Amino acid sequence: MFCSIVPPYLLRRVASLREPQLTGAAEAARKALRHAHTFQETREQLAPATPPAPPGLHGAKPGPPERTIYNAGSIEELPGTIVRKEGAPPTGDPAADEAYEGLGHTHRLYTDAFGRDSIDGRGLPLIATVHYGERYDNAFWDGRQMVFGDGDGQIFDRFTKSLSVIGHELAHGVTQYSAGLVYRYQAGALNESMSDVFGALVEQYAKQQSSAEASWLIGEGLFTDQVQGSALRSMKAPGTAYDDDILGKDPQPDSMDSYIRTSADNGGVHLNSGIPNRAFCLVAIALGGNAWDAPAQIWYETLTGGSLSPKATFRTFARATAGTAKERYGTGSKEHDAVRSAWETVKVKL
């Protein structure tokens, strides 16, 4: 399993740049694309599927985090050299310390909000490698650990700067160990959306932001000052995260009216995820308060409850969330009504 935060269509855009002052960024993007293709092929050939945790396991009493941060030293070999372990003081390296704190914030959300014992529900140690590759333009979950590049310095800054990115990638692990959503087409877009949802929740919980106060941006702070854009994606308003002469305009759709049918990007997993992203955001804003309360409980229970098909479509997921809301809060409750209204707004039929 290879799930990265920067979508391939964005890397391809950077890779195609011909401006002399951006040759470094273009080469970094081309290298990231080649790596993603090679890594995905290797994982598909050699790595067995991860067995999901039993549905009831996420209710077990969670333990403390067990974090280990490695430094790859600008080469593409994992995991690297240990630079910080659980309980050790800060290293002074911003990337290593941001990764350490980000893993902790993510673990804390799952512990406090859902009673989940780490990513797999069994107390999985959290591992991250920083300074991966030279000017590597991505961060990814490889099925076992987190990996962060330093960015090219022209388009992308270091990938540990964004807490939502760290939370996003680790959430791929939660999906891997629960519903196991196939990383293609609508199931893959749901997989990406789950990571955006929980990535945003990690950031909001760490900052103690209400749904109204939150930015609902994924990857805020990743772009350098040379880019006209606030983040990689906007959950609140898909398609508005950036509009830049170099990167183009954010192509995410915000409803099924503009659903993108493509074979690229595993069937548009980073594109069409904007539709369920907006649905979750609409629920959270409609209900008010904190998104890690009722909205997140509905999404989390649907994801981890054991009944969701790995090949779930938007419609089956929408029906499942409505069913979860009905079961938890009752027919006609404000939670149930908010979920149904949100899916209707993004034009997903229940």
pLDDT by residue (tens digit) across 4-15? 898 889 999 889
pLDDT at 182: 95
Q: Which pLDDT belongs to residue 40?
A: 55
Q: What is the DSSP string of 163-230?
A: HHHHHHHHHHHHHHTTT---SSHHHHHHHHHHHHHHHHHHHHHHHT--TTT---EESTT-B-TTS-BS
Torsion, Cα 104 110 115 119, to 10 degrees, reads -90
* Res 18: pLDDT: 81
Low-confidence ranges of the chain (pLDDT < 50): 42-51, 54-59
Fold of 185-345: Neutral Protease; domain 2 (1.10.390)
**What is the full DSSP assignment across 256-316?**
GGG----SSHHHHTTTTTHHHHHHHHHHHHHH-S-TTTHHHHHHHHHHHSS-S-TT--HHH
What pLDDT does residue 55 have? 45
Instruction: Assess if CATH 3.40.50.2300 describes domain 3-176.
Output: no
Predicted pLDDT of residue 17: 84
pLDDT, tens only, 192-248:
999 999 999 999 999 999 999 999 999 999 999 999 999 999 999 999 999 998 899
Q: What is the identity of the amino acid at 44?
A: E
pLDDT score at 1: 61
pLDDT at 60 (0 to 100): 60
The pLDDT assigned to 47 comes to 38
Tokens 């990167």 -> residue: 247
Question: Where exactly are the structural domains of the chain?
Answer: 3-176, 185-345
Catalytic residues: 169, 270
pTM score: 0.93
Place of tokens 């945003």: 200
Q: Which residue has the tokens 């009752």?
A: 330
